[in-house]
A = this chain, B = another copy of it.
């Protein structure tokens, strides 16, 4: 991993505060001297943004769940090849809002596609490419959705679609995120996102700093 950046993914349900956590984390890491790129899925490329608009504009269950997964994976492939990998090669810390963990949670846990199928699709098309560190902002869906409804969508796109799928759906999504964290405990940090936003932000940056320092020690990069 010499001369390679670090790929850090923030995951979590709606209203967990990923956006503000990424913004404050990026500022903190830049203060530390890292070159930081912040990006998001599925909108991190022009192509992904178009696919995101297609998915979000659909009312009800227009897209078959398998088609939805294929589109998400296509956006992810574009995103990795065109944005994330080049930034990592350039030595940057890439902070990404959602990655394959969200497909496992939403298309898998939420909509019932087997996790093996999602992971196999990822390996075949995106490749053996995973986050160096995942920060899971964990929150009770009822609390997160109430928060989410109180704020306006930052980019003008209606995000109501996933939010109208019901509490059982969002409970399954949360369970999947927590299961993934358990399976990859060595490269996942679970943050209690129900606390005040400034507390959450400080916890995120503190834990990421610790992990980045550990990465450095292991790899001899300081």
Contacts and interface: CB of A to CB of B under 8 A. Distances in A.
A66 B126 CA distance: 9
Q: Count this chain's copies in the assembly.
A: 2
Contacts of A70: 70-71, 73-74, 77, 125
Interface in A41-63: 47, 50-51, 54, 58, 62-63
Interface string A116-140: 0100010011000000000000000
Contact of A64 (B51, B71, B78): B78
Interface in A89-104: none
B66 A125 contact: yes
Contacts of A51: 54
A125 B77 CA distance: 18
A77 B64 contact: yes
Contacts of A58: 47
User: Main SS of chain A's interface residues?
Assistant: helix
B47 A62 contact: yes
Contact of A71 (B71, B81, B82, B117): B71
Given A117-B124, A124-B117, A47 B63 contact: yes
A103 to B, nearest CB: 12
Name the residue among A51, A58, A82, A117 with the largest chain B CB count within 10 angstroms. Answer: A51
Interface string A20-59: 0000000000000000000000000001001100100010
A172 to B, nearest CB: 21
A67 interface: yes
Contacts of A54: 47, 50-51, 54
Contacts of A78: 63-64, 67
Contacts of A77: 64, 66-67, 70
A75 B117 CA distance: 19
Given A63-B78, A64-B77, 10 more contacts: A47-B62, A47-B63, A50-B54, A51-B54, A54-B54, A66-B74, A67-B74, A67-B78, A74-B74, A117-B124
